[in-house]
């Protein structure tokens, strides 16, 4: 599975990845609106640089989770996890319920709020380019190789190596995205705490779709069980009532 | 006027106002008409119209189960109104959803694009099927009016039990699945509400709500039509509700305890207050009211209990569907007027449909005396005087339609359509030309008013013909040009030199003539050099030698003062490419900058700057 590794300690905040993304997808300029969040992402910015104190530039983008919450909740299959890794979106299938926006633990999918015909917008890891054997526009544009593209396993190996080579440099010696919510295809190495990227400060390693799975699995048995119970109850109560009628003394009802 | 008429009139007006909001919603999109945002993608429409709406319609399956499965025949009189409410409730849910969906014309997509792992997919299917089942359950009532459809009716009646059981099965599923919708958001929903057994919680509370909604509706319509309330029957429902609410409370608190979340109740936070409010509305007060036989059998007690439970569970649904996520997401969402109006109008339209049905079909044992039909006995045409009297019943309808149309019109009138354009264009009222010698204007759009020599500008720019230079008046929504549009070098925010800071009282607090020659055009060229004041502006050993300097632009300042620093940082942070031009500039850009600088040097006697030597690798 393809993945992206972003090393915060290498990023110099030149915004070239952001620019490359905008050029690749022909996204017009954007300015803060009432409905945008202050992390720089919007329907017109699929990746952004979040600036934190002391020269820390954190590139935010869709994490392309291995078991994505957004894909599991979409009632019409407009979002899809491809075997190459990217989580992609299909305009024609979407019905605009915005459940994906609610479900994403990183708050990634954004909406075309000002359009009369609005769509979900988020990073798609340049799926077309990947299919053609190229790397995404953003990683290609990075002058510092702060954000690199490759096979997920290889990138994790690289990250491990960097952590080994630089003891004490990285925050908690952690590869962000290796395990959270079942693992993501966008990994981070950082010297600061990156938990602000998700809504929950302590994301579980359990993939989020599993939370609903039990309930969804219970659907057919509950459906059938309820039907059987109702028919049974109807019959039992009916018989009891009939018996009561019969048991009544003959003269009682006259 | 009669109670019913006033009530209907109000409903028509609300529906009309909502329709105008609906027009705006579809004409301008969601962003500008609602307060939804990337932080709050689901708002009042999902919380109230959909999640609460479905729960409010739970009376249908609860009462049919009681009558046809438990065979409690005594409740038969309230079956039809309960089924009708459920049917209209589901229609309202679907209509409400149409406003919320971004692409409502794709609402049928779940029918063909199956996604069995999505809770919303399951809800969509169940709502669809159950609405159909409800239509089949209710249709014998209107069909009763004519004998023409007797066959269909008897067919429907024969299979009623099948529909009832199907309805219960479907309701069980989606009432609970509405809770499953939020299972995937453990990171957002507050622990007082988030629990893995949310579906079970939703199902139990839906039963309680169903019972109390039927009670409320029965009480309300009896009040409206001045009928005798079915108090003994409702008291029995109340007694059943006590059990259901008690079970709900038990499960709720055991769950809280098991998850160790009880402590949050006393945390004193926004959430804990909301939890206490909710719990008293749904559990504590109704339980007290309904378990005392005397209040249970009194009209007032029933009113209070049913209202509390209905509002409380709606509150619970709204909490789960978004309100209790706000501390995680940091959203400040408050529904916009159009969101509230549209929701209110969907409800009003459903209530109007309900009233129409009870007045025209045998939903109750006896149709209410139609207040509008009272005078129907009068002839439509008075032969004696040769005048058309009109059908009196029509008269009321004319009033309603008038109110409705007026409401739509008034609603549309008050929509600030011009301000709704999402590009944020403001209206520019045409004002009488002031002209004159001097004006005080907000020329820099920062509300620091400046004294503007209007006459002087007019003269230097070429007399009356030159008005258009500032007042072009041809771009919609444009204002007169700001100062900086001509005095371009004074207010560029990208400049290292912040002119407005230097000029503002809270900043440098310098008068114009401090830097600019008096009686000279105010521009960069006439300004004194920076290092006249800032003796130490250019650090010793800077890469750029600045001679003959005016205010430095960003590029100059960058290269003068920043490149050194970039080099230092690059070494310190181990980011080797930080000080290279092409790291930030594309090769062409770097080239063009070099050319521009070279060109600038040409025209000058002494070279402006000398480019830094930076080695590329
Ligand atoms: S980060 Fe969010 S949008 Fe991206 S794949 Fe994961 S759940 Fe989906
Ligand atoms: S908004 Fe579109 S993509 Fe997102 S869950 Fe709904 S249908 Fe799927």
Angstrom distance (rounded) from CA A81 to CA A59: 22
Task: Evaluate whether B308 touches B281 at the Cβ level (below 8 Å).
Answer: yes
pLDDT, mean of residues B477-486: 62
Residue in A76, A199, A237 closest to B110 by CB: A76
Percentage of residues of chain B with pLDDT beyond 90: 28
Same domain for A235 and A151, yes or no, is no
Ligand nearest to the CA of A122: 1
pLDDT at B14 over 90: yes
Bridging pattern class, strands A120-121 and A147-151? unpaired
| Mutate: best of B23, B115, B259, partner A, most A CBs <10 A | B115
The pair of structure tokens assigned to B323 is 């309100």
Domain boundary among the residues B300, B317, B335 is at B335
Quick one: chain A helix, strand, coil %, rounded to 5? 35, 15, 45
Cα separation values, A103 from A4, A37, A79, B67, Å: 22, 17, 13, 40
In a domain, B63, yes or no: yes
Angstrom distance (rounded) from CA B346 to CA B607: 74
Same domain for B586 and B473, yes or no, is yes
B-chain residues near A104 (CB < 8 A): none
Q: Tell me the pLDDT tens digit for each residue of B551-564.
A: 445 555 555 556 66
Ligand nearest to the CA of A177: 1
Which contacts qualify for B277-280: CB closer than 8 Å, 24 or more apart?
A: B277/B315, B278/B312, B278/B315, B278/B316, B278/B319, B279/B252, B280/B312
Same domain for A195 and A218, yes or no, is no
Same domain for A48 and A147, yes or no, is yes
CB contact under 8 A, B38 and A101: yes
Q: Report helix, strand or coil for A58.
A: strand
CB contact under 8 A, B102 and A94: yes
Angstrom distance (rounded) from CA B144 to CA B154: 10
In a domain, B200, yes or no: yes
Same domain for A125 and A99, yes or no, is yes
| Pocket lining: A111 vs ligand 2, CB cutoff 6 Å | no
| Mutate: best of A32, A212, A233, partner B, most B CBs <10 A | A212
Q: Which B-chain residues 570-599 have CB contacts (< 8 A) with chain A?
A: 573, 575, 577-578, 582-584
Same domain for A86 and A154, yes or no, is yes
Residues A40, A41, A43, CA angle at the centre, nearest 5°? Answer: 135
Q: What is the pLDDT of residue A198?
A: 86
Q: What is the pLDDT of residue B614?
A: 44
Q: How many domains does chain A have?
A: 2
Angstrom distance (rounded) from CA A110 to CA A120: 6
Same domain for B321 and B460, yes or no, is no
pLDDT at B428 over 50: no
Bridging pattern class, strands A56-60 and A79-81? unpaired
Which of A7-21, B100-114, B163-177, B483-497 shows the lowest mean pLDDT across its residues?
A: B483-497
Residues contacting B418, CB < 8 A, separation 6+? B425, B427
Q: What is the pLDDT of residue B73?
A: 84
A79 has which bridge partners? A89
A148 has which bridge partners? A5
Q: Residue B121: give the domain boundaries.
A: 34-335
Same domain for B315 and B451, yes or no, is no
Same domain for A172 and A236, yes or no, is no
In a domain, B40, yes or no: yes
Q: What is the pLDDT of residue B548?
A: 40
Same domain for B315 and B456, yes or no, is no
Task: Evaluate whether B41 touches B102 at the Cβ level (below 8 Å).
Answer: no
In a domain, B128, yes or no: yes
Same domain for A141 and A223, yes or no, is no
| Pocket lining: A118 vs ligand 2, CB cutoff 6 Å | no
Confidence of residue B427 (pLDDT cuts 50, 70, 90): very low
Length of chain A: 254
Task: Evaluate whether B46 touches B322 at the Cβ level (below 8 Å).
Answer: yes
Q: So what's the ipTM on this one? A: 0.89
Which of A200-209, B16-25, B385-394, B502-511 shows the lowest mean pLDDT across its residues?
A: B385-394
Q: Tell me the pLDDT tens digit for each residue of B46-72.
A: 999 999 999 999 988 999 998 888 888
| pLDDT beneath 50: ranges in chain A | 251-254
Please give the backbone phi and psi of residue A93, each rounded to the nearest 5 degrees, phi first. Answer: -90, -30
Identify which of A160-164, B34-38, B113-117, B472-476 has the greatest average pLDDT. A160-164
Confidence of residue B478 (pLDDT cuts 50, 70, 90): very low
Phi-psi region of A182 (alpha: psi -120 to 50; beta: other; left: phi over 0): left
Please give the distance, rounded to the nearest whole angstrom, from the Cα atom of residue B113 to the centre of ligand 2. Answer: 12
CB contact under 8 A, B118 and A97: no
Q: What residue has token string 């029995």?
A: B236
In a domain, A254, yes or no: no
A4 has which bridge partners? A149, A186
Q: Is the dihedral of CA B418, B420, B423, B424 positive or negative?
A: positive
Angstrom distance (rounded) from CA B313 to CA B311: 6
Please give the backbone phi and psi of residue B321, each rounded to the nearest 5 degrees, phi first. Answer: -80, 5
Ligand nearest to the CA of A89: 2
Please give the distance, rounded to the nearest whole angstrom, from the Cα atom of residue A74 to the centre of ligand 2. Answer: 5
Which of B429-438, B535-544, B560-569 shows the lowest mean pLDDT across its residues?
A: B535-544
Task: Evaluate whether A8 touches A142 at the Cβ level (below 8 Å).
Answer: no
Same domain for B315 and B443, yes or no, is no
A to B CB pairs, distance under 8 Å: 205
Q: What is the pLDDT of residue B547?
A: 46
Q: What is the CATH number of the domain that holds A154?
A: 3.30.70.20
DSSP state of A208: T
Angstrom distance (rounded) from CA B430 to CA B33: 27
Q: What is the pLDDT of residue B431?
A: 57
Cα separation values, B89 from A213, B124, B142, B361, Å: 29, 15, 18, 18
Same domain for A181 and A243, yes or no, is no
Q: What is the pLDDT of residue B612?
A: 43
Q: How many domains does chain B have?
A: 2
Same domain for A159 and A222, yes or no, is no
In a domain, B421, yes or no: no
Please give the backbone phi and psi of residue B299, each rounded to the nearest 5 degrees, phi first. Answer: -60, -45
Residue in A14, A36, A237 closest to B38 by CB: A36
pLDDT at B425 over 50: no
In a domain, B261, yes or no: yes
B33/B277: higher pLDDT: B277
Angstrom distance (rounded) from CA B416 to CA B604: 55
Nearest residue to B395 via CA among B410, B379, B373? B373
Same domain for A160 and A221, yes or no, is no
In a domain, B318, yes or no: yes
Angstrom distance (rounded) from CA A9 to CA A194: 12
Residues with CB under 6 A from ligand 1: A 62-65, 68-70, 87, 104, 106, 108-109, 122
| Pocket lining: A96 vs ligand 2, CB cutoff 6 Å | yes
Task: Evaluate whether B317 touches B47 at the Cβ level (below 8 Å).
Answer: yes
B336/B512: higher pLDDT: B336
In a domain, B3, yes or no: no
Query: What residue owns the CA closest to ligand 2's atom 8?
Result: A74
Residue of B nearest to A215 (CA): B180
pLDDT, mean of residues B312-316: 94
Please give the distance, rounded to the nearest whole angstrom, from the Cα atom of residue B109 to the centre of ligand 2. Answer: 11
| Mutate: best of B28, B31, B178, partner A, most A CBs <10 A | B31
In a domain, A253, yes or no: no
Q: Tell me the pLDDT tens digit for each residue of B237-266.
A: 999 999 999 999 999 999 999 998 888 898
Q: What is the pLDDT of residue B489?
A: 56
pLDDT, mean of residues B177-205: 91
pLDDT, mean of residues B380-390: 67
Quick one: chain B helix, strand, coil %, rounded to 5? 65, 0, 35
pLDDT at B371 over 70: no
Angstrom distance (rounded) from CA B565 to CA B563: 5
Helix (H) or strand (E) holding A6: strand A2-7
Q: What is the CATH number of the domain that holds B148?
A: 1.20.1630.10
Task: Evaluate whether B504 touches B448 at the Cβ level (below 8 Å).
Answer: yes
B463/A45: higher pLDDT: A45
Atom of ligand 2 nearest to the CA of B118: 5
Q: Residue A239: give the domain boundaries.
A: 214-247
| Pocket lining: A127 vs ligand 2, CB cutoff 6 Å | no
Task: Evaluate whether B122 touches B173 at the Cβ level (below 8 Å).
Answer: yes
Kindly list the strands in the beta sheet with A147-151, ordered across the sheet, starting from the edge strand earlier in the chain: A147-151, A2-7, A186-189
Angstrom distance (rounded) from CA A6 to CA A59: 8
Domain boundary among the residues B335, B354, B382 is at B335
pLDDT, mean of residues B105-132: 89
pLDDT at B440 over 90: no
Please give the backbone phi and psi of residue A84, each rounded to the nearest 5 degrees, phi first. Answer: -75, -20
Angstrom distance (rounded) from CA B520 to CA B512: 11
Same domain for A189 and A230, yes or no, is no
Same domain for A195 and A136, yes or no, is yes
Q: What is the pLDDT of residue B546?
A: 47
């Amino acid at each position: 599975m393809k993945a992206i590794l972003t090393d915060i300690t290498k990023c110099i905040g030149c915004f070239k990845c952001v620019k490359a993304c905008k050029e690749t997808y022909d996204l017009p300029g954007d300015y803060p609106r009432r409905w945008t969040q202050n992390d720089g992402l919007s329907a017109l910015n699929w990746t952004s640089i979040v600036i934190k104190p002391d020269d820390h530039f954190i590139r935010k983008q869709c994490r392309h989770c291995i078991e994505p919450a957004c894909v599991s909740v979409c009632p019409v299959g407009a979002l899809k996890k491809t075997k190459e890794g990217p989580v992609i979106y299909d305009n024609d299938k979407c019905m605009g319920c915005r459940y994906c926006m609610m479900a994403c633990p990183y708050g990634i999918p954004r909406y075309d709020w000002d359009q009369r015909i609005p769509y979900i917008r988020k990073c798609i890891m340049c799926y077309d380019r990947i299919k053609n054997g190229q790397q995404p526009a953003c990683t290609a544009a990075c002058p510092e190789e702060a954000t690199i593209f490759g096979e997920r396993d290889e990138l994790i190996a690289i990250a491990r190596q960097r952590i080994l080579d630089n003891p004490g440099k990285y925050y908690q010696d952690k590869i962000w995205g290796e395990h959270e919510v079942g693992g993501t295809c966008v990994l981070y190495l950082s010297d600061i705490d990156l938990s602000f990227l998700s809504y929950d400060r302590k994301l579980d390693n359990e993939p989020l779709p599993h939370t609903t799975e039990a309930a969804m699995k219970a659907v057919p048995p509950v459906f059938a069980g309820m039907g059987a119970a109702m028919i049974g109850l109807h019959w039992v109560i009916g018989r009891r009532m009939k018996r009561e009628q019969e048991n009544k003394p003959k003269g009682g009802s006259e | 006027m009669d109670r019913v008429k006033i009530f209907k009139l109000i409903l028509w007006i609300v529906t009309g106002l909502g329709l105008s909001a609906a027009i705006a919603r579809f004409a301008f999109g969601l962003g500008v008409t609602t307060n939804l945002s990337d932080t709050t993608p689901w708002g009042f429409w999902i919380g109230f119209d959909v999640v609460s709406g479905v729960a409010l319609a739970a009376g249908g399956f609860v009462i049919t189960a009681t009558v046809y499965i438990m065979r409690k025949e005594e409740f038969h009189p309230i079956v039809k109104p309960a089924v009708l409410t459920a049917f209209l409730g589901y229609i309202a849910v679907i209509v409400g959803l149409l406003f919320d969906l971004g692409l409502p014309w794709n609402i049928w997509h779940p029918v063909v694009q199956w996604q069995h792992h999505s809770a919303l997919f399951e809800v969509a299917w169940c709502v669809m099927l159950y609405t159909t089942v409800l239509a089949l359950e209710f249709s014998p009532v209107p069909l009763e009016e004519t004998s023409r459809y007797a066959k269909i009716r008897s067919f429907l009646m024969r299979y009623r039990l099948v529909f009832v059981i199907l309805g219960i099965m479907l309701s069980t599923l989606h009432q609970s699945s509405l809770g499953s919708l939020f299972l995937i958001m453990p990171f957002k929903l507050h622990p007082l509400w988030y629990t893995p057994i949310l579906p079970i919680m939703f199902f139990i509370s839906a039963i309680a709500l169903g019972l109390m909604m039927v009670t409320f509706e029965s009480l309300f319509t009896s009040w409206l039509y001045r009928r005798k309330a079915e108090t003994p029957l409702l008291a029995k429902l109340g007694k059943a509700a006590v059990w259901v609410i008690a079970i709900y409370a038990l499960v709720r608190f055991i769950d809280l305890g098991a998850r160790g979340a009880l402590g949050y109740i006393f945390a004193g936070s926004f959430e804990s207050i909301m939890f206490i409010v909710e719990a008293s509305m749904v559990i504590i007060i109704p339980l007290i009211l309904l378990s005392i036989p005397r209040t249970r059998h009194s009209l007032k007690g029933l009113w209070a209990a049913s209202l509390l439970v209905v509002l409380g569970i709606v509150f619970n649904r709204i909490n789960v569907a978004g309100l209790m996520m706000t501390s995680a997401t940091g959203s400040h969402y408050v529904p916009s007027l159009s969101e509230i109006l549209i929701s209110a109008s969907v409800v009003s339209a459903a209530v109007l449909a309900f009233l129409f049905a009870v007045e025209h079909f045998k939903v109750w044992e006896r149709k209410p005396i139609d207040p509008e039909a009272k005078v129907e006995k009068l002839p439509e045409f008075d032969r004696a005087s040769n005048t058309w009297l009109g059908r009196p019943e029509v008269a009321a309808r004319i009033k309603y339609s008038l109110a409705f149309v007026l409401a739509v019109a008034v609603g549309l009138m008050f929509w600030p359509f011009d301000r709704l354009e999402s590009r944020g264009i403001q209206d520019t009222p045409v004002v009488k030309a002031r002209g004159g010698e001097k004006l005080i204007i907000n020329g820099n759009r920062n509300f620091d008013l400046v004294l503007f020599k209007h006459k002087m500008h007019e003269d230097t720019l070429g007399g009356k013909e030159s008005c258009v230079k500032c007042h072009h008046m041809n771009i919609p929504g444009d204002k007169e040009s700001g100062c900086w549009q001509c005095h371009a070098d004074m207010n560029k925010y990208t400049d290292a030199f912040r002119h407005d800071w230097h000029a503002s009282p809270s900043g440098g607090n310098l008068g114009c003539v401090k830097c600019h020659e008096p009686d000279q055009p105010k521009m960069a060229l006439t300004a004194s050099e920076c290092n006249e004041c800032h003796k130490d502006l250019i650090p010793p050993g800077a890469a750029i030698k600045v001679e003959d300097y005016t205010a430095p632009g960003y590029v100059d300042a960058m290269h003068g003062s920043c490149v050194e620093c970039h080099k230092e940082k690059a070494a310190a942070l181990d980011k080797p490419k930080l000080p290279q031009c092409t790291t930030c500039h594309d090769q062409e850009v770097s080239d063009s900058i070099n050319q521009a600088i070279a060109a600038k040097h040409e025209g000058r006697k002494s070279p402006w700057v000398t480019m830094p030597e930076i080695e590329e690798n």
